[in-house]
Amino acid sequence: MNGNSEAWIINHNSSYSSLAELTEINTDGYVWITVPRNELLDNLAQIEFLANAKINEQHIKDALNNEHPSFFDNTDSYEMVIFRGVAASQFDMGIPSVTLTPVSIASFNFEKILLTVYDIQDPVINKVKEFIKRNNRRATIGNPADLLYKILHGVIEQVLSLRNPLTMQLAEWQKLLLEQTSKFNAWNEFMSFKTAIDQLAVWCEDQEDAIEDWQQYSRYEQQQQLNINLNDLRDHVERCVRFVQKLSSNLDTLIQLHFSALSHRNNEVLRVLAIISCVFLPLTLITGIFGMNFENMPILREQHAYYYTMGIMIMLAFIMLGIFRWRRWL
């Protein structure tokens, strides 16, 4: 069973066909074999026959795992590169949230064959196929390593495309956390968003490690163009890492600002309450004194005692407010 498995002959006039139609490797270029992950085992025998090499059993298990982290390994017959990226993403701007669908693309780089194992929902492989079709006669991707660079570049571009929507969501979280200091209760959604960003950071760091291993331990002679391509990949991944780390740092800072704003607001409330208490403290003392149940108390029977007392109390209140104003507590 071949299904969606294809064989692309890459040379000055590239063409493609079903993998079942490819019986031998006899070309001045090389062959790119694309196999959906669920069809790998069904086509494994034919692939090994065409490559004239045996694929390690553990590498087959790794290729079948669509959640495998980015990884590089090599044998005497081939190099294996697994690159984990984002196949799809969904954004909700109401209460900002992001859902990332991770996927791993596994590639086996033989001398004349590049085998790519992918998931159907991953758009990167289709984009590379469209690129080859559009540039069939104008430009040729010279060797399997260059084509693999093109695929991995597409995976990284998928991550870089998340920068604008994630930045917009960060702005929404900033608005919610700083404007609704006492009413904010979407902590579960916020922590889910932060967890997604942390996962993205791990994927990017794994990509960086895989590229570094490829540069150091490649079994093929490192050509100048390949070194340039790998350095370009590292630059792109480092941009992703810097962005995600900055985003995660901003989220941590946002949490601190939220609690600082909440603390400042509570302090303002306590300050007002303290001032009110200080203003009414001497007034309460006066009313408490005149509330004592003594039979003989001065000025109680004075005709204007009530007005004198009220005047003194009002004057004391204004004096206290004046002192607070002078000390800049108001």
- Per-domain residue ranges for the chain? 6-262, 266-326
| C-alpha–C-alpha distance, residues 37 and 197, integer Å | 27
Name residues whose C-beta falls within 8 Å of residue 243's C-beta, 6 or more positions apart in sequence: 160, 163
| C-alpha–C-alpha distance, residues 317 and 309, integer Å | 12
Task: Answer yes or no: pTM beyond 0.85.
Answer: no
Q: How confident is the model at residue 27 (pLDDT cuts 50, 70, 90)?
A: low
One-character DSSP codes across 14-61: -EEEEGGG------SSEEEEEEEGGGHHHHHHHHHHHHTSPPPHHHHH
Per-residue tokens: 39: 């069809």
Q: What's domain 266-326's superfamily in CATH?
A: Magnesium transport protein CorA, transmembrane region (1.20.58.340)
Helix spans in 114-186 (H): 123-134, 144-160, 163-179
Per-residue tokens: 62: 């790794």
Phi-psi region of 92 (alpha: psi -120 to 50; beta: other; left: phi over 0): beta
pLDDT recorded at residue 140? 62
Q: How confident is the model at residue 323 (pLDDT cuts 50, 70, 90)?
A: confident
Per-residue tokens: 104: 């791993």
- Overall average pLDDT of the 301-321 stretch: 84
The answer to whether 25 touches 14, Cβ cutoff 8 Å, is: no
Burial class (CB in 10 A: 0-12, 13-18, 19+), 30: buried
| C-alpha–C-alpha distance, residues 186 and 167, integer Å | 19
Q: Which of 12-21, 68-77, 211-220 reaches the highest mean pLDDT? A: 68-77
More confident residue, 195 or 265: 195
- Overall average pLDDT of the 266-292 stretch: 85
The answer to whether 153 touches 233, Cβ cutoff 8 Å, is: yes
What element of type H or E holds 255? Answer: helix 224-290
Q: How confident is the model at residue 1 (pLDDT cuts 50, 70, 90)?
A: very low
| Beta strand pairing call for 15-18 and 71-74 | unpaired
pLDDT recorded at residue 81? 95
- Overall average pLDDT of the 81-92 stretch: 89
Per-residue tokens: 179: 């404007």
| Beta strand pairing call for 79-92 and 97-109 | antiparallel
Q: Which CATH class is domain 6-262?
A: alpha beta
- Overall average pLDDT of the 111-120 stretch: 91
Give the start-end residues of each E strand in the chain. Answer: 6-10, 15-18, 30-36, 71-74, 79-92, 97-109, 113-118
